[in-house]
A and B are shown apart, each in its own frame.
Chain A
Amino acid sequence: MERLLEIKNLKTSFFTHVGEVKAVRGVSFHLDKGEALGIVGESGSGKSITMMSVMRLLADNGKIVDGEIWFNGRDLVKLSENEMQKIRGNEIGMIFQDPMTSLNPVLTIGDQLTEPLLKHKKMPKDKAIERAIEMLRLVGIPSPEKRIKQYPHEFSGGMRQRVMIAMALINEPKLLIADEPTTALDVTIQAQILELMKELKQKINTSIILITHDLGVVADVCNRINVMYGGLIVETGRTTDIFYNPKHPYTWGRLRSVPNPKTLVKERLKPIDGQPPDLLKPPAGCPFAPRCDYAMRVCMTHMPPLFEVGEQHKAACWLNHPDAPKVEAPVGRRHV
């Protein structure tokens, strides 16, 4: 398969008055054309910052310190702001977490929806409106001819997220980045939005990177999953690997905190105790070690490399070292 995106050793930091916050500390992964990749992690794990680095939309005090972001044959890190503007909304579309605040309240839906067409495709206004109406119909908004003249406050949350999706996909980008697209929505609406994304991925032939803290969401949509923790990828693999054969204690912890309707056994969800690492002073060893039930002495002092644990499946945990004690995963296969 053809590579669409390849990130090599990305490091992104925020320079604050208390010091450098190392939000992303050396992340490498790739995405093939037509693939859907999930990035899972908790708040502060660096998952959103990784993708904001790809869009080059970091806050003013944020900076890509090191690394390469190859997209469609070009290193985005080296592009000028003007060149990036030609990529954003055109080759890469992005949707965000909160549809209630992500649309401009004082501009009509039509105004906002046609902007990428007017900007990138230099389409005449009437053509752009036609296309916008078509796109609204595609994302399942009834009577789009009427709705296009309305303002965001006249739409419900789910409808606004549909508008956001229409807007991100209107130029048929090669890549859609969805940053927690369903987090702010009701569960029933979540399912609809995910279904819509899957459907449009086929129709528009785009690749998707789905950022979420919710494993249930990625299971449904993604082929592969990156699990992030403390600014690093701690486990990566096909969706089946991550769910049925996880190799990192953090992934175990995450899976144990998701209710599983298949088990029928009544069991308490187990939270992961402790706090995520302070990225102002990142630990020398594994960032998860202080919260890990299986931590060994080496974990505190030495950063584990990404051990190859299967085809396309890697985990950054010393337990995967040939000399490590064998530990039975508390989740995974037994849930099958």
Chain B
Amino acid sequence: MLNYIIKRLVASIVTLWVIATATFFLMHAIPGGPFDTEKPLPPQIKANLEEKFGLNKPLSEQYMMYMKNLLKGDLGPSLKYEGRTVNDIIAYSFPTSAKLGIVTVICSLLLGTYLGVTAALNQGKWQDQLVMVIATLGVTVPSFVLATFLIYVFAVKLSLLPAIGFEGPEYYVMPVMALGGYSLSFIARLTRSSLLDVIRQDYIRTAKAKGLSRNTVIYKHALRNALIPIVTYLGPLTAGILTGSFVIEKIFGIPGLGREFVTGIYNRDYSMIMGLTVFDSFLLITFNFIVDILYAIIDPRIKLEA
């Protein structure tokens, strides 16, 4: 087990390094720079700024410098927001995105699994068809359409929920629905097909032959076996949702990390792009690692071997 963790750790560091390096050079390959604005800066000022952030040095030297700082956990100063470091910005915006993300993941996991189980147990009946309609809509309707629709219904027409901001529980409702629509539908579909497969297995017949109630058979014997594909999906899903969604944050005026990423890119805010990419990758790697550990807990046949 320890061997496995060490091996995974080493692999994670290598992966992060590859991602950081590729992003660094790709980013610099895009034309333009952080100080190219519509109204060009006087050449002297631009030169001074580039001097200050070390952008006038050869690329290889900049790379070495960045990597050195990265090793220390220093993501560098933002090139656009004066006086703020990328670390500051992540520390400020990430908790908002994470709070919204965790609520979304939990909601879509619980509700999605529930809907999937309901559909599977009523295969072909109206419950199943209803769930499949919801799930198909959820997968196909883009989040911004859903978000706009929700705002129109709940904020404009019914005046039930606030359309903008992120201050209390009522501010979560619409963003969570818009953000979680896709994952909920995906989880519902996954649970349904996985459970349908499991309930035809021999060991389910054995469980029934023991006189266990339907609920025990489903929730104790079947669901745990059916969860494996869902857990697989959960890793990347959690990482993706935690780091925020540009669209949702923009629509609901939520000060999260998602929009920093997008603005960072068209500002050519080099340190911001790098910092957020590395942070994103770090989360993704971490969650995939957690998923692999969860596998071994759920299914004793899976051994974590180095």
Known contacts A104-B221, A104-B225, A106-B224; A164 and B206 CB within 8 A of each other: yes
Among A55, A57, A85, A120, max chain B CB count under 10 A is at: A85
Q: Is A103 an interface residue (CB 8 A)?
A: yes
Known contacts A57-B205, A101-B201; A151 and B301 CB within 8 A of each other: yes
Cα distance A120–B203 in the bound complex, in angstroms? 19
Cα distance A107–B214 in the bound complex, in angstroms? 17
Write the chain B residue with the least CB distance to A87: B211
Q: Is A115 an interface residue (CB 8 A)?
A: yes
Question: Least Cβ distance of B121 to chain A in Å?
Answer: 10
Q: Is B3 an interface residue (CB 8 A)?
A: no
Complex interface: chain A residues within 8 A of B290 (CB): none
Q: Is B37 an interface residue (CB 8 A)?
A: no
Q: Is A127 an interface residue (CB 8 A)?
A: no
Among B220, B225, B300, max chain A CB count under 10 A is at: B300
Q: Is A286 an interface residue (CB 8 A)?
A: no
Beta-carbon contact of A102 and B202 below 8 Å: yes
By size class, the interface of chain B is: 20 to 34
Known contacts A105-B301, A106-B225, A153-B300; A89 and B203 CB within 8 A of each other: no
Stretch at the interface among A29-37, A90-98, A241-249: A90-98
Complex interface: chain B residues within 8 A of A84 (CB): 211
Question: Least Cβ distance of A221 to chain B in Å?
Answer: 20
Interface size on A, residues (CB 8 A): 30
Among A93, A115, A167, max chain B CB count under 10 A is at: A115
Cα distance A168–B205 in the bound complex, in angstroms? 13
Q: Is B30 an interface residue (CB 8 A)?
A: no
Beta-carbon contact of B211 and A88 below 8 Å: yes
Complex interface: chain B residues within 8 A of A85 (CB): 211-213
Q: Is B210 an interface residue (CB 8 A)?
A: yes
Write the chain A residue with the least CB distance to B299: A106
Beta-carbon contact of B299 and A105 below 8 Å: yes
Known contacts A89-B210, A120-B211; A96 and B202 CB within 8 A of each other: yes
Cα distance A153–B212 in the bound complex, in angstroms? 23
Q: Is B145 an interface residue (CB 8 A)?
A: no
Write the chain A residue with the least CB distance to B198: A104
Residues on B lying within 8 angstroms of A by beta carbon are: 201-203, 205-214, 216, 220-221, 224-225, 298-301
5 tightest A-B CB contacts, nearest first: A89-B211, A89-B210, A88-B211, A101-B202, A104-B203
